[in-house]
Amino acid sequence: MLICLLVLAPAGVAGAAGPGKVVGGARAIPMDQALQRSLLAAEAVIHRRGKETCLRGKLTNALLGLSASCEAAGQRGGLCALADQAVVQMGWSLAFMDSTARQVLELMPTAPER
Show me where the domains of the chain are located: 27-107
* Segment (H or E) for 66: helix 52-73
Residue 46 scores a pLDDT above 90:
yes
Can you tell me the distance from the alpha carbon of 47 to that of 45, in angstroms, rounded to the nearest whole number? 6
pLDDT score, position 109: 80
If one compares 90 and 3, the residue with the highest pLDDT of the two is 90
Q: Is 107 exposed, middle or buried (0-12, 13-18, 19+ CB in 10 A)?
A: middle
Residue 86 scores a pLDDT above 80:
yes
Residue 96 scores a pLDDT above 60:
yes
The count of residues in the chain is 114
State residue 111 phi and psi, 5-degree precision. Answer: -65, 120
Residue 5 scores a pLDDT above 90:
no
pLDDT score, position 77: 87
Can you tell me the distance from the alpha carbon of 73 to that of 71, in angstroms, rounded to the nearest whole number? 5
If one compares 22 and 46, the residue with the highest pLDDT of the two is 46
